[in-house]
Amino acid sequence: MTIVPGFLPRKLAGFEQSGQKELIPINSETSLLAYLHWQEGVKSPLAIILHGLEGSSQSSHVLGIGSKLYASGFNVLRLNMRNCGGSAAYSKTLYNAGMWEDARDVMSFFHHSKGVDEFILVGYSLGGNLLLNTASNHEGLNYEIKAACAVSPSIDLANSVAELEKPQNQIYQNWFLRTMKARILAKAKQYPETYDARKLKQIKSVRDFDEIYTAPHGGYGTADRYYHEASSILQIRQIKCPTLILAAEDDPLVPIDSFHRIDAQQSNIEILITKAGGHGGFYQNSPEDDGIFDQFWAENRVVEFIKEVSSIRS
């Protein structure tokens, strides 16, 4: 359920090719690469969709949910975290799960450039954690987050990394490490004074990578401090907008007990926990009886939830 759904075909109706490339300035050293799908002449919220660890705006789940939201009348932005999706030339720094200000700055950019005053945040895995952090820190700004949706979010990073280190999950850890190490090799060529690729020899796990690269470069110092400060579980109670969190009991990367620790009395937060679904997979055998609702169950629930809390109707 975790691996296979990412390779199954989706009916995107040309959605992938319809996006306009956007470079969004964050600071003097960083711009974020994104693809904007804009409904001309239609005033609707802008849905920002963020991928997971080592993913990109081209990830299958990003394209899947993006195409469904666009077909439902929403503006859509497929956003890459720093250095992801072919954007290495636009950022000196590595991404991490605590960079919630990046999403805030993206919203501010479109608020000023296109007059957008309503946003929807949708994130998967690590991207889900990041956007929950963004929603929890949304105070005193002159635009609104209408809804936040997170699929299999790694809300407790230390818990997730411990799960990743279990022998049965080595296949996932090896997958992540392959591209994470390649990213450091590329950054070391760009910025040899900043990135020491010789330290890659010490890395045997994602925790090692975070200890040697992610945490120091992100200003956290140690992996333990990074996991503690960047985990959204500490801040979810501060979220004021309608929020949907989807999780599965058989998720091999995000332990289900993390979600049982969220305050169930918070009326604006809906948590759907399924027996099966894996990590972000949630594939069902039959499509649902709707023009845009297919066999990707989590994507359907996200669209359904967003339509319920928004004025947009397809």
What percent of the chain clears pLDDT 70, i.e. is strictly above it?
A: 98
117-173: per-residue pLDDT in tens?
999 999 999 999 999 999 999 887 889 999 999 999 999 999 999 999 999 999 999
Token look-up 């390779």 returns 7
DSSP secondary structure, 10-61, as one string:
---TTGGGGPEEEEEEEETTEEEEEEEE--TT---PEEEEE--TT--TTSHH
212-230: per-residue pLDDT in tens?
999 999 999 999 999 999 9
Is residue 311 pLDDT above 80, yes or no? no
**CATH 3.40.50.1820 segments of the chain:** 4-156+235-309
Whole-angstrom distance, CA of residue 107 vs CA of residue 179: 29
- Mean pLDDT over the full length of the chain: 94
Those residues with Cβ within 8 angstroms of residue 194's Cβ, 6 or more apart along the chain or in another chain:
92, 187, 217
In terms of CATH, what superfamily is 4-156+235-309? Alpha/Beta hydrolase fold, catalytic domain (3.40.50.1820)
43-87: per-residue pLDDT in tens?
889 999 999 999 999 999 999 999 999 999 999 999 999 999 999
Token look-up 């939201």 returns 69
Mean pLDDT calculated for residue range 226-251: 96
303 SS3 class:
helix
The most distant pair of C-alpha atoms in the chain lies apart, rounded to whole Å, by 56
138 SS3 class:
coil
Whole-angstrom distance, CA of residue 180 vs CA of residue 227: 17
Going by pLDDT thresholds of 50, 70 and 90, the confidence category of residue 314 is: very low
Mean pLDDT calculated for residue range 23-29: 96
How far does Cα 263 stand from its chain's mean position? 22
pLDDT at 199: 97
Reading the block at residue 228, the tokens are: 């503690």
Is residue 313 pLDDT above 60, yes or no? no
Whole-angstrom distance, CA of residue 293 vs CA of residue 289: 7
Whole-angstrom distance, CA of residue 97 vs CA of residue 80: 13
293-307: per-residue pLDDT in tens?
999 999 999 999 999
Contact predicate 222/238, CB 8 Å? no
Token look-up 């005053």 returns 117
pLDDT at 43: 82
